[in-house]
A and B are shown apart, each in its own frame.
Chain A
Amino acid sequence: MVYLAMFHWGWLLAALLLGFAMGWISVVQRGQGITKKAAQWLAVPIVALIVAAVTRAVPGRFGYWLDLGLAMLVAYLVGCAIGSWLRDRVVSRQAATGRSGGATV
C-alpha cells in the first residue's frame, strides 16, 4: 500500500484536493443530500469492493484498478472530511464574529 501511495501520489493528491473542495462546498450547500437509505445502499457495493480488494479476489489489472480506485476514494473522503471540517470552523467563526459585532452596534 505504501508503494501504491508513493507511485500514485499525484493522483491521490488530486483526489484529496477534489474531496477538499467538495467538502468545503458541502457545508454551505443548500438542499438535501442523499437519503440515509440511499447511503446504506451505496455502502453495500463499496463494502463489497473493499472485501474483494482485501481478499485479492480480483486478478491482474482489474485488481490493480480496484485498489487504485479505493485508494483514491479514501483520499477523496479524507479530503471531504478535512474540507467540511475546516469550512465548518470558518463558518462558525464568521457567525460568532457577526453575532458579537451586531451586539456592539
Chain B
Amino acid sequence: MHRLFRWSSKWWPGLIPLAILWVAAAWTATVPLEADLTAHAAAALKDSVLDKATIATAGRDITFSADAFSEQGRSSAVASVEAVPGVRLVNDLTTLVPETKPFVWAIERDVAKVTLSGSVPLPVVRTKLLEAARTTFAGTEIDDRMNFSRSAPSRFEAAAALLIAQVGKLKTGKIAISDATVTLSGMARELGGREAIAAALKNLPEGYSVANEIHAPPYIFEANKDPVAATLTLTGYVPDNAVHAAIVASAGRKFFGEKVIDKLKASVGEPANFTEVVTRMLGVLSRLSTGTLVVSDRNVSISGDALYDAAGSQIRADLPKGMPQGWQAKAEVSVKPAAAPVDSTVCQQLFADLLGKGAIRFETGRPTLDADSVGLLDRLTETALRCPTATIEVVGHTDSDGGDSFNQTLSERRAQAVVDYMVKAGMPADRFKPMGYGSAQPVAANDTDEGKAKNRRIDFIVRQ
C-alpha cells in the first residue's frame, strides 16, 4: 500500500491527456446521450394518458411537462420518467387538466364544415368523437377545436356521440352540451327532421335535459281547384296513410263535381291540428269556383273566387274563427262575376245536374247540414240566384228507417235547413217553399243501403 502511494504521486501527468479525453467525450457524447434518454422517457410514457406532454433533456436531467387527467395518472407518469435508466433528475412541470364550470362541448354545422369545440374529458373520447364525426360527415371538413377539461357530466361520451348523429340530420345548426343541458338550434335537412331528432334525443343518457330549437323546412299542403279541368289536385305532405286516406275521402265528399288528383306524400313533421285545419280548409275551398289552398306549417292561405257576394263575405269573416292556437289564416277571396240569368226550365235543369252529381248531406237522424255539403249548397244558391223570379220548392225525403211521423218531421226540418242556408246567403225567404214527404216518395228500393242513400235526398222543384 505504501508503494501504491509512492507510485500514485507520479500519476498526475496522465491527468492532462485524461482531461483532453474528457473534453472529447463530453463533446461527442452529450447530444446522443440526451437523444437516447429522451427516446427512453417517451417510450416510458407510451401508456400514460397525458395532454401536451413535452420532454426536454439537458445532460441527464429531464424537464417533463404535461397535463394529466388525474392525480394518480400524473404521479404515475412522473414516476415512469424517473425510473428511466440513466436519468439523474426530473424537473416535474406536470399539472392536472383544469376543471371548467360549466363544462361545455359543442358541434356546429355550417355549409362548408363541421366544427367540434369546447371540452372533452379524455383524449380517447376526443378521438372517438372525431371518428364519429368523420363517419357521419364523410366528405365534409371536420374542424377540431376541442380541448380538455376534467368536469364532464356522467356518460358524456354516449351523449356526445348521439348528438353528433343528430347534427347529421341538420342542414345547418349547432348542438351544445352545457353540464347536463343539451341545446339544439338550426334547420333540419329534411321535413320531419325535427321530429326525428326529438325522437332520438329520448335515448340520451339519464340526467340530461333538452332545449330543442330545431326548425324544419315548412310542412306544406296544397290543394288546387281547377274548374276548367274539373279537378282538385292535392300536393304536399300528410302525416301518415290513415290521415292521407281520411283527407282524400273528405275531399271526395266535398268536391262532388271534381276529380281528385292525389299527389300527396306521407311525412312526419306536421304541425299540431294539421288534419283538422286541412279538412276545414278543404271545405272552404269547396265553396270557391276556382281557388288554391296553401298550408305552410301553421300558416293557411286561401285564394280564389267565391260563387256569390255573401259567400265571399262569409269566407273572409269565418276563416280566422276557430283556428287552433298558433295558426294563422289569410284569405284572398274575390267574387266570381255573376252568371247570366236563365229561365225556369234551365234553372230546373241546373238544379237537377248539381243534385245528380252530389247529394246534400245531413248529420244522421238530424236536420243539421253536414259541413261537407257546403260547396254543393253554394252552387245551388248560385243557381237559384240565376233565376230570380222563380219560386223554388225545396223538398225533403228520407229513407224508410224510423217511424213515419219522425221521417215526416225530419224531412220537413231538413228542407227548412236548406232554405235557411239560402236565406242566409241573401235570398228572399218567400222564394222558397220548404216541404217534406218523409219516406213516402222513394226513388229506389229501401232494402239496400245504396237504395236508402238515394232516398235520403233534397229535391229542388222550380215553379213559376
Contact = CB atoms under 8 A, between A and B. Distances in A.
Genuine A/B complex: yes
B17 to A, nearest CB: 6
Interface in B1-57: 3-4, 6-15, 17-18, 21-22, 24-26, 29-30, 33, 36
A60 interface: yes
Most interface-central of A32, A67, A73, A76 (chain B CB within 10 A):
A76
B61 interface: yes
A99 interface: no
Contacts of A18: 14, 17-18, 21
Given A7-B33, A67-B88, A80-B8, A21 B14 contact: yes
Nearest to A84: B7
The A interface, classified by DSSP as helix, strand, loop or mixed, is helix
Contacts of A69: 22, 26
B58 A60 contact: yes
A14 to B, nearest CB: 6
A63 B61 contact: yes
Contacts, number: 113
Given A59-B61, A60-B61, A64-B30, A72 B22 contact: yes
Given A7-B29, A65-B26, A19 B59 contact: no
A33 B9 contact: yes
Nearest to A88: B3
Interface of B: 3-4, 6-15, 17-18, 21-22, 24-26, 29-30, 33, 36, 58-61, 85-86, 88-89
A95 to B, nearest CB: 14
Interface residues of A, number: 45
A49 interface: no
Contact of B29 (A8, A14, A62): A8
Given A29-B10, A72-B18, 8 more contacts: A7-B33, A8-B29, A15-B22, A26-B10, A27-B7, A63-B60, A64-B26, A80-B7
B4 A15 contact: no
28 contacts: A3-B85, A7-B86, A8-B29, A11-B21, A11-B25, A15-B22, A18-B17, A22-B13, A26-B7, A26-B10, A32-B9, A33-B11, A34-B9, A56-B88, A59-B58, A60-B59, A63-B60, A63-B61, A64-B59, A64-B60, A64-B88, A67-B88, A68-B29, A72-B18, A73-B18, A76-B14, A76-B15, A84-B8
Nearest to A77: B11
A26 B12 CA distance: 10
Interface string A67-98: 11100110011001100110010000000000
Contacts of B11: 19, 22-23, 26, 33, 77, 80, 84
B58 A72 contact: no
A51 interface: no
A3 B32 CA distance: 13
Contact of A84 (B4, B18, B24): B4
Interface string A1-44: 01110011001001100110111011101011111100100100
